[in-house]
Amino acid sequence: MNPRTGMRRRSAFGAAVAVLMLWTAAAGPAVGGPASSAGPQYKPDEVAQRDAWESFLRTAEIVKSEPIGEGVTNPWKIYLKAGDVEKKAAWKGTTGEQEWRFEIAAYRLDKLIGLNMLPPAIERTFNRKRGALILWADSKTSLLKLTEDNAKARQAGRKEDPPPEFDAVYGRGKYIARIWDCLVANEDRTQENILYTDDWRTLLIDHSFAFRSEGEYATKLIFGKNGIKKYENGTPILIKQAPRALVEQIRALDTASVKAAVGPYLTAKEIAAVLSRAKILVAEIEEMAKQIGEEKFYF
């Protein structure tokens, strides 16, 4: 390695760690913290630290690793340390149809459209294999656990109303998640990979089955009036609210912008499928907005 190049890299990494140390001390972990009125996603100060977290994921020392023991992608829990900063991450390789590259493509597309719901993800070799290293999303609960706890409470004759901010943020987060899964054709969204922070913001993990590009996935949405997935009684799973800014970002997507964002992590066919779904999605949203009323639909 060129000594000067090495010095620049160490200097840049040291600066990134310093930023993370200051931010962690001031604002707490990357997920959670004081209640925010900005919306159901990562807060602006957290979004501003993503580049530093990406640097941390690439260069921090792996001090411990262990199989997570659940999930068809055989993920690993990785313990990282750089200076005084310690964080966990999940590492995923490719298993069958589950692609690690989709995790990175999803995160990069999240940044491009300002979704701000996915934790940072980068490519990193582990056990001599290429894969995706994803910052661990520290959360209070998941939709699965919340549903199970509410069911137990009802069976016990208790009524446990969530705090007021849950209703305000959960509903919006639910519809944003549907919009996102339509765009990336994520066919494997489960209650377990919809997470909630202490202040009820919504975070999304696990995109190993996203970016489907075959057959109906290139011409239909996961949800919506003509969606691939429906409720058990056959009723369509609709999008009833949307952030106007997010819709405009999706409308503006083109081949050049998506290709520049996802780099080598999506094929030309997969990028074309994203753009095809983007057009269908915007049309679906506009139709729903007219039916519901734009003042109620957009936020």
Full 3-state SS string of 106-131:
HHHHHHHHCCCCCCCEEECCECCECC
pLDDT of residue 162: 65
pLDDT of residue 200: 85
pLDDT of residue 36: 33
Number of other residues whose CB lies within 10 A of the CB of residue 224: 24
Q: Which of 225, 219, 238 is nearest to 278 (CA)?
A: 219
Q: All domains of the chain, ordered by start, with CATH?
A: 3-135 (no CATH), 141-297 (1.10.1070)
Q: Please check the confidence at residue 24 and state whether its pLDDT lies above 50.
A: no
Q: What does DSSP assign to residue 192?
A: G
How confident is residue 76, by pLDDT bands cut at 50, 70 and 90?
very high
**Six-digit token pair at 93?**
């390789």
Q: Please check the confidence at residue 2 and state whether its pLDDT lies above 50.
A: no
Q: Please check the confidence at residue 190 and state whether its pLDDT lies above 70.
A: yes
Q: Read off the pLDDT of residues 249-290 as tens digits, 9 standing for 90 and up.
A: 999 999 999 999 999 999 999 999 999 999 999 999 999 999
CB 211 within 8 A of CB 271: no
The mean-pLDDT minimum among 139-143, 168-172, 212-216, 294-298 falls in: 168-172
Sign of CA dihedral 22, 24, 30, 31: negative
**Pick the residue with more confidence: 29 or 177?**
177
Kindly report the average pLDDT of the chain as a whole number. Answer: 86
How confident is residue 34, by pLDDT bands cut at 50, 70 and 90?
very low
How confident is residue 163, by pLDDT bands cut at 50, 70 and 90?
low
Q: Please check the confidence at residue 159 and state whether its pLDDT lies above 90.
A: no
pLDDT of residue 161: 65
- The CA-atom distances, in angstroms, between 90 and each of 4, 71, 79, 126, 170 are 33, 12, 9, 11, 25
Q: Which helix (H) or strand (E) holds 148?
A: helix 143-155
**Six-digit token pair at 265?**
């992590």
Residue in the block written with tokens 């975070």:
203
Q: Please check the confidence at residue 128 and state whether its pLDDT lies above 90.
A: yes
d(CA 239, CA 224): 6
Burial call 109-121: b when 16+ CB within 10 Å, e when fewer:
bbbbbebbbbbbb
